[in-house]
Copies of this chain bind each other. A is one copy, B any other.
């Protein structure tokens, strides 16, 4: 059928993710998006809550804000790891607080995303984490997306159209990834904006048009177009028929 979005355990049970952040708006949206991706989600607003929930929820992954109202995120991590050493962690950090503290952490196979982030970016990181932890169906195989003559290697960040390598900027890459994860489905500019751009982006949907036009130049130039405009609605990525 469609794309296998929800990674799951070998036995088919859904992967469990715990989201910890003190902004309810953020945990709410994240929780819904992750659930939509096929994962089982719980949320917590602080360290104590997180530890409590983790005790019997036994998450496979934790999305953890480093700055929490009560306990330091790193201490929370220690607690979580004590209970289940296997758990993988995706940290959320403020842009300017990255440096030293996180540097050591990522060595352990965990990862981090700086706020403000785009949902696509967070999802991609989380998928990667779980995949490397062996929780994906297709195991540790490289993340390869293919739609018609288009293919994207998420790990290598390499995109090819009909075998030719295409160079993309970060935003172009994110946009294309979102399109490729939703082939044949019309996506509105608002949907795209909400997923590909950071949640604090105030701009207009006009940027989406602009980036679609960039993508077309790089991907559809001189070939059968794969990105189609659906007037008044949005855009679709479709493999060329035949």
A residues with a Cβ closer than 8 A to B are 2, 24-25, 28-29, 31-33, 36, 78, 81, 85, 99, 101, 103-110, 112, 119, 132, 142, 153, 155-158, 169-170, 184-186, 188, 190-191, 193-195, 199-202, 204, 230-233, 236, 238
Besides the contacts A28-B108, A106-B191, what 5 more A-B pairs have beta carbons closer than 8 Å? A29-B104, A33-B107, A104-B199, A106-B188, A155-B186
Which residues of B have CB within 8 Å of A105?
Answer: 190, 194
Complex contact A231–B169 (CB within 8 A): yes
Complex contact A33–B109 (CB within 8 A): yes
Complex contact A230–B157 (CB within 8 A): yes
Complex contact B155–A184 (CB within 8 A): yes
Q: Given A184-B155, A232-B170, A236-B156, check contact A199 B103 (CB 8 Å).
A: yes
A100 to B151 Cα, complex, angstroms: 37
A155 to B106 Cα, complex, angstroms: 27
Which residues of B have CB within 8 Å of A142?
Answer: 2
A46 to B75 Cα, complex, angstroms: 22
Which residues of B have CB within 8 Å of A194?
Answer: 103-107
A225 to B2 Cα, complex, angstroms: 34
23 residue pairs from A and B, CB less than 8 Å apart: A24-B78, A25-B104, A32-B110, A33-B109, A36-B132, A99-B202, A99-B204, A103-B193, A103-B194, A103-B200, A103-B201, A104-B119, A104-B194, A107-B194, A107-B195, A156-B185, A156-B238, A157-B186, A157-B236, A169-B231, A169-B232, A170-B232, A170-B233
